[in-house]
Chains A and B, each alone.
Chain A
Amino acid sequence: QSALTQPASVSGSPGQSITISCTGASSDVGSYNLVSWYQHHPGKAPKLMIYEVSKRPSGVSNRFSGSKSGNTASLTISGLQAEDEADYYCCSYAGSSTFVVFGGGTKLTVL
């Protein structure tokens, strides 16, 4: 069982917006603004999409945005495109003992 809880799947039509939630605890997501999100196409390396809750690395589309409220972080993808179809994972710093935790992943289907 993953430390962070994500929905197993979400779907949306091209052009729509979707949001993926990532629920942790006060010991990880709730305590640190150190949540990151990764896009993973099967057979490829995961790609960083959001870090430190809401920052976008250079080259990542501004259609991707992140936020956090309490123990839950969220990834929003606006203007869905076919190439956004992938698995998405959240990740958080979890203190000096546990250090890093991942969510179980969410499969995004673009209808």
Chain B
Amino acid sequence: QVQLQESGPGLVKPSQTLSLTCAVSGGSISSGSYFWSWIRQPAGKGLEWIGHIYTSGSTNYNASLKSRVTISLDTSKNQFSLKLSSVTAADTAVYYCARGLDYYGSGSYFSAFHIWGQGTMVTVSS
């Protein structure tokens, strides 16, 4: 079955760019109709959707983060990535990648996050 695994630096300095990768195994990232997504959870707080890239390559981002976020697909490596620029301590969180199901198969209606990675802790500190 499909599995997701996050990787990237656990420590990022303020004002720098946070970069994470989610490796997909057990299936091709370019097949099917899925939202390849990033979600985060700051310590003691709830889940926050960051954004996703659809199988077709189109993206949607959380409005509160949109100016700093880029999500991209690398089909040759079967992985997708998150870049969050100009980070501050408020970006310290556990970051999860997830696969979201498309309700109509059109990229327009999100159903649910059926598969999640284990999460990776990222701390923003000098």
Q: Please list the residues of chain A having a beta carbon within 8 angstroms of any beta carbon in chain B.
A: 2, 32, 34, 36, 38, 40, 44-48, 51-52, 57, 89, 91, 93, 96-105
B: contact size bracket:
20 to 34
Q: Which residues of B in the span 50-80 have a Cβ within 8 Å of any Cβ on A?
A: 52, 60, 62-63
Residue B11, interface by CB 8 Å: no
Q: A51 and B46 in contact (CB under 8 A), knowing A45-B118, A45-B119, A46-B116?
A: no
Do most interface residues of chain B lie in helix, strand or loop, or is the interface mixed? strand
Q: Please list the residues of chain B having a beta carbon within 8 angstroms of any beta carbon in chain A.
A: 37, 46-49, 52, 60, 62-63, 96, 100-101, 103, 108-114, 116-119
CB contacts (< 8 Å) of A91 on chain B: these are 47, 49, 112-113
| Complex Cα spacing A2 to B71, Å | 23
Closest Cβ neighbor of B48 among chain A residues: A102
